[in-house]
Amino acid sequence: MTAPRLDDPAPALAMRGIRKAYPGVIALDGVHLEVQRGEVHVLLGENGAGKSTLMKILSGGEQMDAGVIAIDGRAIALGSPRMARDAGIAIIHQELALVPGMSVAENVFLGRAPTRVGLVDHARMVRESVVLLERVGASVDPGVLVETLSIAQRQLVEIARALSLDARILIMDEPTSALTARETALLFETIRWLTARGTSVIYISHRLDEIFTIGNRITVLRDGRNVATRDVQAADRRELVHLMTDREVDELVPSAARVPGDVRLSVQGLCVRRTLHDISFSVRAGEIVGFAGLLGAGRTEIARAVFGLDAFDSGTIAVDGAVVEIQSPRDAIAAGIGFVTEDRTREGLVLTRSVRDNVALPILQRLSRFGVVHRRSETSTAEESVRNLRIRARGVTQRARELSGGNQQKVVLARWLATGARILLLDEPTRGVDVGAKQEIYQLINELASSGVAIVLMSSDLPEVLGLSDRLLVMREGRIAGAFSRADASAERVMACAVGM
């Protein structure tokens, strides 16, 4: 087959006029994307802008309705993930695609295990995985099961797997969402090593800092169309946010002046064997207390213990000055505590159910008489939440699964507000949420605090936790290693404290 040459010199990848329509929505409307050899090309856009669809088409998971894809100037067909892989395209999924019950080495070589006389050559598999894992800076034993690894380690294994494919075009969908600063730095080193060898990387991220560190060029999509392509040097933050959302944003993290009230939540001497040591802190009404720290430093564990999910060995929890017994989420909810978990699809939402069902879940008892749910009040409660939190859904009966990440997170928030929670534990509230929605969630958090809710914010996104918190506590190895007021908290000082410098 003689393929037409599209360009000269041919870019590593050219996508032209890509169209994709789903019933009722045009996901991609003539999008083009050109990636040079050895380039890190950032794809930017809000959720629903068409990034994922475009990458699904490129990795063979979806078929385009119209358009041309060329690799090194040759038009190719990408009818299946297999064909994409053969064409040298590899994708690292945002939702991890590893088999938990298999070893790291087996996962790295999943589906392509090296064989000798028809049997899996285990020694070679382990040997080669060690090299790949070192390459990405993952200090994991290739023999251990993936289920024993942290999310960050799994992400690194996934990256090692993509490396083993020897791809010419590597798609990374939010690869750093679970990584610490150090791991992110290592990942960037790997990316630089790859690009120096001529591999092209398509990089999807919502973290602008990263984009400026690692990217060469940026393509912004909005509503399924190209908005702009810029060299990183020529781009500035505010412009990018504006291009994505088509609205002016004053600051990435808004600050608000608030006057905190009485102490609402007070935790004294909380200990959980091996994970938490003597944790004491208090949060006032209308105050945002941030918890920073490396992954695994114990932030989530605090929230889990306070919410009654994990039993603690010693310590007391007091709400509004009175000590409360919290042994289950029910107790915590009764005490006016709400918990927005880190993993909203696994622990937050019932994705198969509607927005209404999800919002009403913890308050069904209150919305019912003799065990029969009063639908009208259920619907009006949900509708009120949708309005107040500006949740973008077709209606309260739309399934949670169909919402964007940011709107899903708002549904989780809505649920706790509906219970009348006066204390909110927010664990990574903007993880996997696009910039525009992040902004809205920040605003909501500020509004909630202003209305008198006491907020505990756990976040590994430093600018986020610095920008939102009135006070900042830094966790290290299960202890509170430092406390900063808003005025003297800076990224460098917090980081130094978190790593123990």
Among 82, 116, 330, 390, binds another protein (CB under 8 A): 330
Contacts of 459 (CB under 8 A, 6+ apart): 290, 291, 292, 426, 428, 429, 430, 465
- Give me the least distance between CB of 128 and another protein, in Å please: 36
Contact between 193 and another protein per CB under 8 A: no
Report the alpha-carbon distance of residue 402 to residue 305 in Å, rounded: 31
Indicate the SS3 state at residue 277.
strand
Give the nearer residue to another protein in terms of CB position, either 34 or 378: 378
Footprint of another protein on 274-313 (CB under 8 A): 307, 309
In the block, tokens 């509503």 appear at 223
Contact between 329 and another protein per CB under 8 A: yes
Contact between 321 and another protein per CB under 8 A: no
Question: If you count DSSP H runs as helices and E runs as strands, how many of each does the chain have, helices first?
Answer: 16, 24
Element (H, E) at 48: none
Contact between 459 and another protein per CB under 8 A: no
Report the alpha-carbon distance of residue 295 to residue 279 in Å, rounded: 17
Radius of gyration of the chain (CA): 24
Give the nearer residue to another protein in terms of CB position, either 403 or 468: 403
Angle of CA points 248, 404, 13, to nearest 5°:
80
DSSP state of 234: G
Report the alpha-carbon distance of residue 190 to residue 411 in Å, rounded: 37
Contact between 130 and another protein per CB under 8 A: no
Contacts of 82 (CB under 8 A, 6+ apart): 60
- Give me the least distance between CB of 402 and another protein, in Å please: 5
In the block, tokens 């017994």 appear at 325
Contact between 364 and another protein per CB under 8 A: yes
Amino acid letter, 83: M
Contact between 388 and another protein per CB under 8 A: no
Among 65, 147, 325, 402, binds another protein (CB under 8 A): 402
Contact between 95 and another protein per CB under 8 A: no
What separation, in Å, do the N-terminal and C-terminal C-alpha atoms of the chain show?
A: 61
Q: Find the part of the chain contacting another protein (CB under 8 A) among 152-160, 203-211, 280-288, 333-341.
A: 333-341
Give the nearer residue to another protein in terms of CB position, either 108 or 349: 349
- Give me the least distance between CB of 52 and another protein, in Å please: 9
Write each residue from 17 to 56 as x if it is in contact with another protein (CB under 8 A), else as -, in one continuous string: -----xxxx-x--------------------x----x---
Give the binding site for another protein (CB under 8 A): 22-25, 27, 48, 53, 307, 309, 328-330, 332-333, 339, 341, 346-353, 357, 360-362, 364-365, 368, 371-373, 375, 401-402, 415
